[in-house]
Structure 1
Amino acid sequence: MKFTTQNPTKSLHLVSLGCTKNLVDSEIMLGKLKEYKITDDATSADVLIVNTCGFIDSAKEESINTILDLHEQRKEESVLVVAGCLTQRYQEELQKEIPEVDIFTGVGDYDKIDELVNEKRSAFTNEVFLASDINERVITGSSYHAYIKLSEGCNQSCSFCAIPSFKGKLHSRTLESLVKEVKSLVSKGYTDFSFVSQDSSSFLRDLGHKDGLEQLITEVDKIKGILTARILYLYPSTTTLALIDKIADSKIFQNYFDMPLQHITPSMLKIMKRGKGVEKLIELMDHMKSKPNAFVRTTFIAGHPGETQEDHEALCKYIEEYKFDRANVFSYSTEEGTAAANSDSLIEQEIIDERADEIGEIIAQTTQESLEKEVGKTFEVYIDGESEEHEYLLSARKIMWAPDIDGEIYINDNELYDENNPQQLEFGKIYTVKITELVGDKLLATVIK
């Protein structure tokens, strides 16, 4: 994702890779470098920043390629900065292998980026950066929606994941700092929020509270001006039936349940160290689905070491039967430093990819079925702006859905329009629409209220 805005003399080009948690950190860096004019043109920028992702091989490759591409494009005397997860994870190797980079920093110095740029020095703080007070962020990509980061790090020990090795243990923000930040953004006109972290359902557990997310929902529900919110990345062993009920009872939080399952058979959940029995897991998933207008999203890993053909078939069957609204599948990728990397039950890449493709086909079908159910329905959407498809089509998102990942609705008709009293539809506002048809994977809608 690339960013543009206005301002003074020196210019800045920033590329944020990876997840929305990275995006929040990128927005904090933009806030600390407000004196720079932000540009899409890498060739003219005085400062270029890549906020990297170091999660899996494909993400690492994208990060390295982006760094090298920007170095090729940049002008003389410019400063190339590389920050984020990849540099945190491979500090010494990257500094040795990519001498073209002027400043290296990890995940602990986002709030000091202005000092590092001014002094042209690298720094790696031992602790991850965690917003405790309101940090001036430059919210990107939306005039009404913002991501709020709940915590950093993770206390889980999933066999396939290296994140705790370079992000550390769970480190929650205080509830007070979150409420303060949300209120500040509401005062600037933001009405829709997505709360994110590595393991959102563990929020405040490191500070002695097992019901941290429930406390958050209670406090956010009290803030005037918020219209909608959702929580991303629930973890099976720290999500309770009470939390699901709390979300469903909220007037602001949508019945949006995003829980990466990764697998469903007892043997694989044990191998993956996912810490939840199958019966309890299925009970949670069914409880989510029982809520009015529930929307359930998940992710799976295909071909994890130790996965048998029977495990794979059982997973396919569960996905077909549960009918997730949205899901993603990843081919297993060996990450050094993880328990799975030392397994003697690695699976051939060809088989991994075949299994991922098979799961992908099932997901495509269940997603299509979820979209087909919307045809003929009436519900509320946010209108984001003109679509990239055609200037006469507006791009909208169901208020339930998370931005960018759950789909796009095209508005091709407006029943509010009156030639004698033309009403312009406002971007960033909520309208009631009726879904008229599904074309490919895009819903078409008419504004009715």
Structure 2
Amino acid sequence: MKFSTQKPKKKLHMVSLGCTKNLVDSEVMLGRLSDYELTDDTQNADVIIVNTCGFIDSAKQESINTILNLHEDRKKESVLVMAGCLSERYKEELQSELPEIDVFTGVGDYDKIDLLVNEKRSKFTNEVFLASENNERVITGSSYHAYVKLSEGCNQACSFCAIPSFKGKLHSRTLQSLVKEVKHLVSKGFIDFSFVSQDSSSYLRDMEEKNGLELLIEEVEKIEGIKTARILYLYPSTTTVSLIDKIADSKIFVNYFDMPLQHISQNMLKIMKRGKGVEKLNELMNHMKSKPNSFVRTTFIAGHPGEKEEEFEELCKYVEEFNFDRANVFSYSDEEGTTATLRADKIAQELIDERAEILGEIIAQTTQISLENEIGKTFEVYIDGESDEHEYLLSARKTIWAPNIDGEIYINDNESEQELKFGQVYTVKVTELAGDKLLATVIKL
């Protein structure tokens, strides 16, 4: 009888909270820990890592609750790691208040996670880690789509945002580094890309290049094998009409325009320190909307200090009239170290929540209109796999949409003679809208 001399693989459970930029860093950590077997069984995991979010109150609370719940369930000899933004932002307090955690690390040491886990050692490097083409990532959640991080940090000074306080100033990757990474991912079968950062339209401005994204578009278009790409998180004061035109003229980059506005009142934009005035914003937004098959997404903050009732009403009217394809609303929350926390004209929490709810209802209506407008249309989708709803329904995403945030299409019929494969593009015709899900048929071309 032969006995295996191989040791069983150690098991790793990873939780990535917050934004897609965090997800890229989590994928770098997975790459460093590729000797481990990934598991959803937290009770049998040898290492548990939570990549935390420190953006707003609700995200902070989710991070703390997640890590404490995982501690309750884990086996005695496992290693519990708290990494990322929240850990960086409150490193002293968390290390003194959470003895349950074995390893603390922030936003500077994702590429050293294997050493920290092996040595059960905490570490906070002063410099923010920025993924490069040399970091072998384990792409999660998709066989064909990958996020690519353009830069870290931010040079903006928004009144409500604490990100620059723990992520620092803008630090862009070189164009050469990005191109190398994208080429490498294409060689592994990835055909759809989302480029992300805190402020994507400022890419390369720290290297004295004002049109960084336009240069990126030109270089990415030269790479063979890419089907689609999109850019997330444009910033109003660094987005130009020229950039919008460049995206619209591209054969690779879809007409996806994601620009968080936060408000539309001239006075509120000034209070929020959001750069360009209303006239410039309207010009940009209308230009985006004028492009064929454009998809416009944004976010707003309700109840920021100083927001008068008439300014909130102005915002509601604007959202109703513009008809965004997708939007999000956040309730304002005080963030330590921001200028908004120092203002005397704070709004009662009850009124903040009420305004967020009102704006949320308007956004739900405009999203519904956007979805209803798709009925009867023919377009391309990526098929991701079987839907959670039913084994006979396939889950798909319009090629212009960003993964996980813009919606899901159910494929319930196939008129083509081909066998449908996951991770590939098919042309569909939308037949109806059921709730917030479009139903579509794959058609024969």
- TM-score normalised according to structure 2 size: 0.98
Task: Specify the alignment match of 2:323 in structure 1.
Answer: 323
Task: Specify the alignment match of 2:412 in structure 1.
Answer: 412
Contact 1:50 1:81 in 2 (8 A): yes
- How far is the alpha carbon of 1:229 from its aligned partner? 0.4
Q: What is the identity, as a one-letter code, of the residue corresponding to 1:435?
A: V
Task: Specify the alignment match of 1:203 in structure 2.
Answer: 203
Counterpart-to-counterpart distance in 2, 1:394 and 1:184: 29
Counterpart-to-counterpart distance in 1, 2:50 and 2:370: 36
Counterpart-to-counterpart distance in 1, 2:133 and 2:32: 14
Task: Specify the alignment match of 1:308 in structure 2.
Answer: 308
Task: Specify the alignment match of 2:429 in structure 1.
Answer: 434
Counterpart-to-counterpart distance in 2, 1:269 and 1:210: 23
Contact 1:8 1:37 in 2 (8 A): no
- How far is the alpha carbon of 1:132 from its aligned partner? 3.0
Task: Specify the alignment match of 1:11 in structure 2.
Answer: 11
Task: Specify the alignment match of 2:29 in structure 1.
Answer: 29
Q: What is the identity, as a one-letter code, of the residue corresponding to 2:30?
A: L
Q: What is the identity, as a one-letter code, of the residue corresponding to 1:109?
A: D
Counterpart-to-counterpart distance in 2, 1:120 and 1:373: 54
Counterpart-to-counterpart distance in 2, 1:8 and 1:176: 40
Q: Where does the alignment leave 5 or more consecutive residues of structure 1 unmatched?
A: 1-6, 418-422
1:230 aligns to what SS in structure 2? strand
1:136 aligns to what SS in structure 2? coil
How does 1:55-94 map onto structure 2 within 5 Å?
55-94=55-94
Q: What is the identity, as a one-letter code, of the residue corresponding to 2:412?
A: N
Alpha-carbon displacement from aligned partner over 1:126-174 (angstroms, at most 9, x marks no partner): 0000123331100000000000000000000000000000000000011
- Pairwise CA RMSD of aligned residues? 0.8
Counterpart-to-counterpart distance in 1, 2:16 and 2:240: 33
Task: Specify the alignment match of 1:106 in structure 2.
Answer: 106
Counterpart-to-counterpart distance in 2, 1:306 and 1:160: 12
Q: Is 2:229 aligned against 1:234?
A: no
Counterpart-to-counterpart distance in 1, 2:376 and 2:48: 48
Contact 1:437 1:444 in 2 (8 A): yes
Contact 1:8 1:35 in 2 (8 A): no
Identity %: 79
Counterpart-to-counterpart distance in 1, 2:190 and 2:306: 46
Q: What is the identity, as a one-letter code, of the residue corresponding to 1:60?
A: K
Q: What is the identity, as a one-letter code, of the residue corresponding to 1:437?
A: E
2:44 aligns to what SS in structure 1? coil
Contact 1:134 1:180 in 2 (8 A): no
Q: Is 2:202 aligned against 1:192?
A: no
Q: What is the identity, as a one-letter code, of the residue corresponding to 1:147?
A: Y
Counterpart-to-counterpart distance in 2, 1:162 and 1:305: 16
Counterpart-to-counterpart distance in 1, 2:287 and 2:370: 18
How does 1:283-432 map onto structure 2 within 5 Å?
283-417=283-417, 423-432=418-427
Q: What is the identity, as a one-letter code, of the residue corresponding to 1:305?
A: P
Task: Specify the alignment match of 1:217 in structure 2.
Answer: 217
Task: Specify the alignment match of 1:448 in structure 2.
Answer: 443
Q: What is the identity, as a one-letter code, of the residue corresponding to 2:356?
A: A
Question: After TM superposition, where is structure 1 displaced by more than 4 Å over at least 4 residues in a row?
Answer: none
Q: What is the identity, as a one-letter code, of the residue corresponding to 2:171?
A: H
Q: What is the identity, as a one-letter code, of the residue corresponding to 1:22?
A: N
Counterpart-to-counterpart distance in 2, 1:208 and 1:356: 39
Question: What is the number of residues matched between the two proteins?
Answer: 438
Counterpart-to-counterpart distance in 1, 2:323 and 2:316: 11
Q: Is 2:51 aligned against 1:51?
A: yes
Contact 2:82 2:101 in 1 (8 A): yes
Contact 1:199 1:233 in 2 (8 A): yes
Q: What is the identity, as a one-letter code, of the residue corresponding to 1:287?
A: H
Alpha-carbon displacement from aligned partner over 1:189-248 (angstroms, at most 9, x marks no partner): 000000000000000000110000000000000000000000000000000000000000
Alpha-carbon displacement from aligned partner over 1:327-386 (angstroms, at most 9, x marks no partner): 000110110110000010000011111111111111011100000110000000000000
Contact 1:255 1:400 in 2 (8 A): yes
Contact 1:432 1:447 in 2 (8 A): yes
Contact 2:302 2:352 in 1 (8 A): yes
Counterpart-to-counterpart distance in 1, 2:166 and 2:270: 24
Task: Specify the alignment match of 1:158 in structure 2.
Answer: 158
Q: What is the identity, as a one-letter code, of the residue corresponding to 1:360?
A: G
Task: Specify the alignment match of 1:3 in structure 2.
Answer: none
- TM-score normalised according to structure 1 size: 0.97
Counterpart-to-counterpart distance in 2, 1:190 and 1:350: 46
1:43 aligns to what SS in structure 2? helix
Contact 1:8 1:36 in 2 (8 A): no
Q: What is the identity, as a one-letter code, of the residue corresponding to 1:408?
A: E
Counterpart-to-counterpart distance in 1, 2:48 and 2:364: 38
Contact 2:25 2:131 in 1 (8 A): no
Q: What is the identity, as a one-letter code, of the residue corresponding to 2:69?
A: D
Q: What is the identity, as a one-letter code, of the residue corresponding to 1:120?
A: K
1:237 aligns to what SS in structure 2? helix
Counterpart-to-counterpart distance in 2, 1:278 and 1:41: 51
Contact 1:50 1:82 in 2 (8 A): yes
Counterpart-to-counterpart distance in 2, 1:233 and 1:359: 21
Counterpart-to-counterpart distance in 2, 1:57 and 1:204: 31
Counterpart-to-counterpart distance in 1, 2:77 and 2:410: 45
Contact 1:30 1:137 in 2 (8 A): yes
Counterpart-to-counterpart distance in 2, 1:407 and 1:349: 30
- How far is the alpha carbon of 1:8 from its aligned partner? 5.5
How does 1:136-155 map onto structure 2 within 5 Å?
136-155=136-155
Counterpart-to-counterpart distance in 2, 1:8 and 1:373: 53
Counterpart-to-counterpart distance in 2, 1:22 and 1:185: 19
Alpha-carbon displacement from aligned partner over 1:26-71 (angstroms, at most 9, x marks no partner): 0000000010111101100111100000000100000001110111
Q: What is the identity, as a one-letter code, of the residue corresponding to 1:434?
A: K
Q: Where does the alignment leave 5 or more consecutive residues of structure 2 unmatched?
A: 1-6
Contact 1:248 1:254 in 2 (8 A): yes
2:43 aligns to what SS in structure 1? coil
Counterpart-to-counterpart distance in 1, 2:258 and 2:95: 37
CA 1:8/1:217 → structure 2, altered by over 3 Å: closer, same or farther? Answer: farther
Counterpart-to-counterpart distance in 2, 1:63 and 1:156: 26
- How far is the alpha carbon of 1:76 from its aligned partner? 1.1
Q: What is the identity, as a one-letter code, of the residue corresponding to 1:82?
A: M
